[in-house]
Structure 1
Amino acid sequence: MSSGINSSWTSPFITYLTSNSSTIPMTTSEAGWCAVSPALGCLLGPPIAAYLADRIGRKNTVLIMAPVVFFSQLGIGLVRNVWHLALLRLFIGAADGACFTTLPMYVGEISSPDIRGFLSSLICLSFTLGVLLINTIGCFFSIFTCSIICAAVPAVHFLGFIFMPESPYYYIKVGKYNEAKKSLKIFTGLADVDEELKSLSDAVRVQEEIVKNSKFMDLFTIPRIRKATVIFVIIGLALRASAKAPLLSYTKMIFEESGSDISSSLSTIVYCSVEFFVMTITTYFVIDRFGKKIMCVISLSGCGITLFLLGFYFFVKDFHHDISRYLNWLPITTLTAYSVLFNMGLSFTQVCYLSELFPTNVKAKALSFAEISTVLTNAVTVKLFQVMNDGFGTLSGSFFCFSILCMIMLVFVIKYVPETKGMTLEEVQLFFTGEKYKENDENIEGTLLRNNDIE
């Protein structure tokens, strides 16, 4: 939730910050760097989290990030210099990077297959709630008041999460079998977990034997792990192609540029509310019923179409102004449709796949790589969006470019991304070693079939 707040923080404040009445005066270029600073900060968090997750545990790694976010949020309400503001947002970005490296790992390891997609998507739902919160309160309150409200989020997180149990996978990995047994009892609700403990221990042992003394380069040199890495890269690039990162940072500005009769503040709140509502429906009723791949394909196709329509509107507005007055309804309608389609699939696909693609002994390094690559590409898309807008003098070029990228990535998703619905983490790993999980017409069977064509 804190990450959602930070990612979309500039959206309600960007026009104020670049105005003459701003208490933190800045140019549009400086505002662009302020928007991208959390993504740059995220480069610091994942390597730290990858190191800590295997040494102090998944839970404690997430927990110690809360004070960083708490004090940085308080500082945002007090600074009066653009570079101080960017630095504080960079600190929060580093904590975000650490959390997004560790949280999918933790959630994936505590979840049974039938609810793993649901629990993983709760991360995305909370992120969306953070986006809605900052865009709502940012339209009515000052930066100082908003910083106080936002600082309460990591405070509540710290006080609540400190009582949560550690992942049993981590305890088994470090040889603490009694603690693993206690953790399993909490997560399964069973008094006798000896069978589950043995199964997990065997699975971790097998994964450790596959890659002993794991290194970062194992993500690219070992075929079965490289395959998982390629799949993640495809999913990550598809998410970047959807232009979600620029829309998070410039939502209100886009509505203001549209020239619609509907106020930009109201349009932003409606847009974010629809996004949260759709994400909630998807989380509870869709993800574990229809599978991740098919929802990703539908979502990516829809984003490409809606971004094209948005580009068409700004093209008409800037070059055929006499026609645009009949299309004032199009920006809010198109962005709302974009929100619905994005949250049907792309919003949770990356986090859900990250929770299951990689074996335990390289998972920390894999998620560190995933977060670093994510924030780098996010930073590029956010900055590129601002540069293209300034260069073209219109928003249409940016939206047309992202629409084309969506269609290109759609081909890769259809061709290379597998469906893992109904698989345990162990069965996902068997899939990458050349064994395929079989799904019959009625239900998921626990059958693994050799597939020599998988490589």
Structure 2
Amino acid sequence: MSVISFGMNGSWTSPYVPQLLSDTSKIPMNSDEAAWCAIAHLCGCPFGALAAAYLTDRIGRKYTLLSMAPMVFFSQIGIGYVTNVWHLFVLKMIIGVADGGCFTVVPMYIGEISSPDIRGFLSSLVCLFYILGVLLMNTLGFYCSILTSSIISASIPAAHFLGFVFMPESPYYYIKVKKYHQAERSLMILRGESNVAKEVEVLKQAVKMQEEMVERPKFTDLFTVPSNRKAAFIFVILCTANKASAKAPLMSYTRYIFEETGSSISPAFSTILYCLVELLVVMFTTYFIIDRFGKRFLAIISSVGCSVTLFIMGLYFYLKDYHSDVIQQLNWLPLTNLIVNNVLFSIGISFTHMCYLSELFPTNVKANALCFAEILAVAQSAVTTKGFQMLNDRCGTLSISFFSAAVIGCIVLGFIVKYVPETKGKTLEEIQLFLMEKEDIKLGSGESLTQLGE
């Protein structure tokens, strides 16, 4: 529920920017102010990430997540009544603080409560429900006023709070604070079994080993400890691949982009279909693909496909702006190409950075790692979203933005091929041994994890 809310917040400007830029807008603004509103929640995310990194090891993963819901609830209600652009910016920034905390804690919580055979599935659900939130907001935005959609949006964090309060805390957290009985009870609920003593002992040994490596975890341990540095580097690659797909500006300006194509197909229909296809593809990928083919393979295929479709989109806008007679018979191309882009994005780089994020970092630095990940992700999203608007305004064409994203995507693809390993079917402990370059962990093919990394 918290991730659905995150998706709704992130895509709010998609249906409402054209309305806000119109002469009849109740919140008058220009293109530059609209772009700032598009990244307002991203500006708040780093503060939420820092707060969550501090709270998650003090009050637990569960209560840190619960604390975010009231912030979103009251801010959403406020958005329904705001009439000033900068008041809107502040409210969306407050929501961003909660979203930053959510993104920091949810991957940690999922990675720690799940067993290896379903961890990829559960981690990919984050992206599934995020997309559901995007689809929900785009649908509401075309048929509801800002006030109505804000009230509906406020109901999501309320439902999250009321439902999640009954969920168990992470057993890793309980072991970290030496509450072993509570950890055992939590595992009984999560595994549906009464005999979990063996797993508790395994977790205790894993946490102990990680804490012995760094007695007092610091933020700099992410870069000074070799295994953490390798994990951070892998995440940077995957996160950059995600942002190079231009997903952030596509999400924030979906309706605007479809309006700019000049296609005879309705922008409202195109936007909803675009989001619906992404949701269906992620559902299919989550259930049937991710745990069969592995995340690394999917990330490579996805990156190649996104770069090609972004190049085609850039070529379309180039022809539209400078050779308009050529594209008279290509009204179908923008929607078709962006749907293909959505499909290819959704089968790989939409979720791989989230899955790896929940797996790569040991318990003792996970809070700081997720804080770093959130700050990096929102910074890249803010740059790509604001850059999209600036390039379009200054160059007078969308083609430059799409060509730039395609080139960056090709560069990042090379890094994925060379440096990103496969973690399919490995426990969190085995992944840590790989990052520490222990030779005794083998892949199914018989080759060592160290060799895979190389």
* TM-score interval (norm. to shorter): over 0.9
For 1:207, the aligned partner's letter is Q
1:189 is matched with: 192
Deviation digits for residues 63-122 of structure 1 (CA, Å, limit 9, x no counterpart)? 110111111111111100000111111111110100110010000000000100000111
- 1:434 equivalent in alignment to 2:406: no
**In structure 2, which of residues 329, 333, 346 is the aligned counterpart of residue 326 of structure 1?**
329
2:374 is matched with: 371
Deviation digits for residues 375-421 of structure 1 (CA, Å, limit 9, x no counterpart)? 11110110000000001100001000001111010000000011000
**In structure 1, which of residues 231, 234, 252 is the aligned counterpart of residue 234 of structure 2?**
231
CA distance in 1, matches of 2:449, 2:304: 33
Deviation digits for residues 330-373 of structure 1 (CA, Å, limit 9, x no counterpart)? 11000100110000001111110000100000000000000011
CA distance in 1, matches of 2:266, 2:126: 31
Pairwise CA distance, 1:440: 2.8
Deviation digits for residues 237-271 of structure 1 (CA, Å, limit 9, x no counterpart)? 11111100000100000000000000100100000
User: Measured at CA, do residues 185 and 28 of structure 1 come closer, stay the same or move farther in structure 2, by a change above 3 Å?
Assistant: same
SS at match of 2:360: coil
2:137 is matched with: 134
For 2:444, the aligned partner's letter is N
Runs of 5+ in structure 1 lacking a partner? none
2:149 is matched with: 146
Quote the sequence identity (%).
Answer: 59
SS at match of 2:351: helix
**In structure 2, which of residues 262, 274, 277 is the aligned counterpart of residue 274 of structure 1?**
277
Deviation digits for residues 2-33 of structure 1 (CA, Å, limit 9, x no counterpart)? 11001110000111101101010000000000
Taking only aligned residues, the RMSD between alpha carbons, in angstroms, comes to: 1.3
Runs of 5+ in structure 2 lacking a partner? none
Q: Count residues with an aligned counterpart.
A: 450
For 1:23, the aligned partner's letter is K
1:19 is matched with: 22
2:390 is matched with: 387
8 Å Cα contact 2:442-2:449 kept in structure 1: no
Counterparts of 1:10-89 in structure 2 under 5 Å? Answer: 10-89=13-92
Pairwise CA distance, 1:435: 2.2
Counterparts of 1:25-424 in structure 2 under 5 Å? Answer: 25-424=28-427
TM-score (norm 1): 0.97
CA distance in 2, matches of 1:362, 1:48: 15
Deviation digits for residues 304-325 of structure 1 (CA, Å, limit 9, x no counterpart)? 0010111111111111111121
CA distance in 2, matches of 1:243, 1:450: 32
CA distance in 2, matches of 1:124, 1:363: 20
Runs of 4+ with deviation above 3 angstroms: 448-455
CA distance in 2, matches of 1:306, 1:169: 42
SS at match of 2:359: coil
Deviation digits for residues 197-227 of structure 1 (CA, Å, limit 9, x no counterpart)? 1111011100111111010001111111111
For 1:283, the aligned partner's letter is T
CA distance in 2, matches of 1:380, 1:261: 31
CA distance in 1, matches of 2:420, 2:333: 33
User: Measured at CA, do residues 273 and 22 of structure 1 come closer, stay the same or move farther in structure 2, by a change above 3 Å?
Assistant: same
CA distance in 1, matches of 2:164, 2:404: 42
TM-score (norm 2): 0.97
CA distance in 2, matches of 1:288, 1:453: 19
Pairwise CA distance, 1:439: 2.8
For 2:373, the aligned partner's letter is A
- 1:3 equivalent in alignment to 2:6: yes
8 Å Cα contact 2:421-2:453 kept in structure 1: no
SS at match of 1:214: coil
Pairwise CA distance, 1:190: 1.3
SS at match of 2:442: strand
CA distance in 2, matches of 1:422, 1:230: 21
Pairwise CA distance, 1:438: 2.1
SS at match of 2:272: helix
CA distance in 1, matches of 2:139, 2:450: 51
SS at match of 1:79: coil
CA distance in 2, matches of 1:11, 1:352: 27
For 2:407, the aligned partner's letter is I
SS at match of 2:25: coil
Pairwise CA distance, 1:450: 8.0
8 Å Cα contact 2:49-2:371 kept in structure 1: yes
Pairwise CA distance, 1:188: 1.2
CA distance in 2, matches of 1:281, 1:267: 21
Pairwise CA distance, 1:449: 5.0
CA distance in 2, matches of 1:398, 1:12: 21
CA distance in 2, matches of 1:189, 1:265: 45
User: Measured at CA, do residues 396 and 117 of structure 1 come closer, stay the same or move farther in structure 2, by a change above 3 Å?
Assistant: same
